[in-house]
Amino acid sequence: MNILIFTNTYLPHVGGVARSVEAFTTEYRRRGHGVLIVAPEYPNMPEHEEDMIRIKAIENFNASDFSLPLPVHSPLRKRIDAFGPDIVHSQHPFLLGMTALRVARSRKLPLVFTHHTLYEQYTHYVPGDSAPVERFAIELATRYANLTDRVFAPSESICELLRERGVTTPIDVVPTGIHPEKFASCDRMAWRNEKGIPEDAFVVGHLGRLALEKNLEFLAQAVAAFVAEVPHAHFLVVGTGPAEDTMREAFARAGAESRLHNAGILKDQPLVDALHAMDVFAFASMSETQGIVLTEAMAAGLPVVALDAPGTREVVADRKNGRLLHEASTEAFSAALQWLERLPSDQMRNLREAARATAESYSIACTADKALEAYEETIAELTGRVDKDQQDWETIFSWVEAEWYVLKTLVGACGIAVKSLSSDKDS
């Protein structure tokens, strides 16, 4: 099977979508499937990439760490023709997602869309951020999903949310998988010694892109309060981003800045060693559709303390592999960390074993099985609908039809946003 993937973010960008595309692509190719990825250009890209088309992009769009791809359609055609895709998979409902829609429609190919992101949580990166902009983001993603042949939801929570929002396209729950075996071996104490963390410290950890939509100000305040109460506690953060200063200020106010350690971006074995240097993983994001970092942390045997939210509640089971908190207060979060720090060693060992078992259920082998089965079903459903020997005028008509659907989706989403603005003013 030849799979054509369109994504607005990809390596070396650090983020959930990029990691998801990489994980599935590697597994698909390992099984003998062809994958061609269309993604934006980034600084420090590898010189040689297998089956990759890079699109010119505006870097660090609106002070974010994202690149804004500028879709150019005509240069893609020859590469796509040579590849001969059987199915198109879009990772976003806009920009290159619209290009994916055009390609799929014009070529009469099935289109799959993964709803990775709660886009309304990211409207602060767009000029004029407001309730209508949030409504536009929701409406655009919903309308786009209904133009596709199949939707992948990363979690049951997101599947339910999409149904509530009016998605009628068939939905499969397909989480991003991980390689649990990669997180098995480590050098815990050597890594702690290198970073100046005492061997007997109780280390709370966090991994991810340090962006404010990840609720990191709350997380820093909660962990700082815990660290201030527990003299041998430290906070280890892996990642970079605009929220770094906010997190540092929270620890400074608590008088615990010396026990905040930021390791920056880590990959491969150094990342695994950093996870094993932690005793518990802390996570407060409310904007996730699936917290990939949660399953990676659990693969390293870490219990997780997290706020109850979509994408998180499917992974964290309260008092079984961590703590899932329904009360979103820094006091409750700090208390949960204290509960874990005081836990007898045998009970902590049980939490660690349960965390590893949870990670095993999210292996890439299992999730790729689900995705490939859904691909095959979608292709089979469309087989016979298309005359492969269609004339040139039919191809042209398909392109016009695709452009119409793109325009209709954008205009419709704008209309809903404007209507919500009018309703707000009337009220």
Which of 360, 392, 415 corresponds to the end of one domain?
360
Q: Are residues 235 and 264 in the same domain?
A: yes
Q: Are residues 15 and 160 in the same domain?
A: yes
Q: Are residues 38 and 138 in the same domain?
A: yes
Instruction: Give the residue numbers spanning the domain of 324.
Output: 181-360
Pairing type for strands 68-69 and 57-58 reads antiparallel
Which of 360, 381, 409 corresponds to the end of one domain?
360
Q: Are residues 207 and 301 in the same domain?
A: yes
For the sheet containing 171-173, what is the strand order?
A: 52-55, 34-40, 2-6, 87-90, 111-114, 150-153, 171-173
pLDDT at 393: 37
Identify the three-state secondary structure at position 148.
coil
Tell me which H or E stretch contains 423: helix 392-426
Q: Are residues 377 and 411 in the same domain?
A: yes
Backbone angles phi, psi at 332, to 5 degrees: -65, -40
CATH number of the CATH domain containing 140: 3.40.50.2000
Rounded to whole angstroms, how far apart are CA atoms 62 and 122? 12
pLDDT at 254: 96
Which of 327, 360, 393 corresponds to the end of one domain?
360
Q: Are residues 328 and 217 in the same domain?
A: yes
Tokens of 87: 């199915």
Q: Are residues 170 and 200 in the same domain?
A: no
The answer to whether the beta carbons of residues 376 and 1 sit under 8 Å apart is yes
Query: Nearest CA to 232 among 207, 270, 258, 194?
Result: 258
Q: Are residues 283 and 403 in the same domain?
A: no
Q: Are residues 113 and 79 in the same domain?
A: yes
Total number of domains constituting the chain = 2
Q: Are residues 161 and 118 in the same domain?
A: yes
pLDDT at 377: 96
pLDDT at 422: 54
Q: Are residues 324 and 336 in the same domain?
A: yes
Per-residue pLDDT of the chain (427 residues; tens, 9 = 90+): 999 999 998 988 777 889 899 999 999 999 999 999 999 888 888 888 989 999 887 555 444 445 555 555 557 888 999 999 999 999 999 889 989 998 999 899 999 999 997 766 654 444 555 577 778 888 889 999 999 999 999 999 999 999 999 999 999 999 999 999 999 888 888 889 988 999 999 999 999 989 888 999 999 999 999 999 999 999 999 999 999 999 999 999 999 999 999 999 998 899 999 999 999 999 999 878 787 899 999 999 999 999 999 889 999 999 999 999 999 999 999 999 999 999 999 999 999 999 999 999 999 999 999 999 999 999 999 875 544 434 443 444 454 455 455 555 655 555 565 555 555 555 5
Helix intervals (H) in 168-305: 188-195, 216-229, 244-253, 268-276, 292-299
Q: Are residues 172 and 93 in the same domain?
A: yes
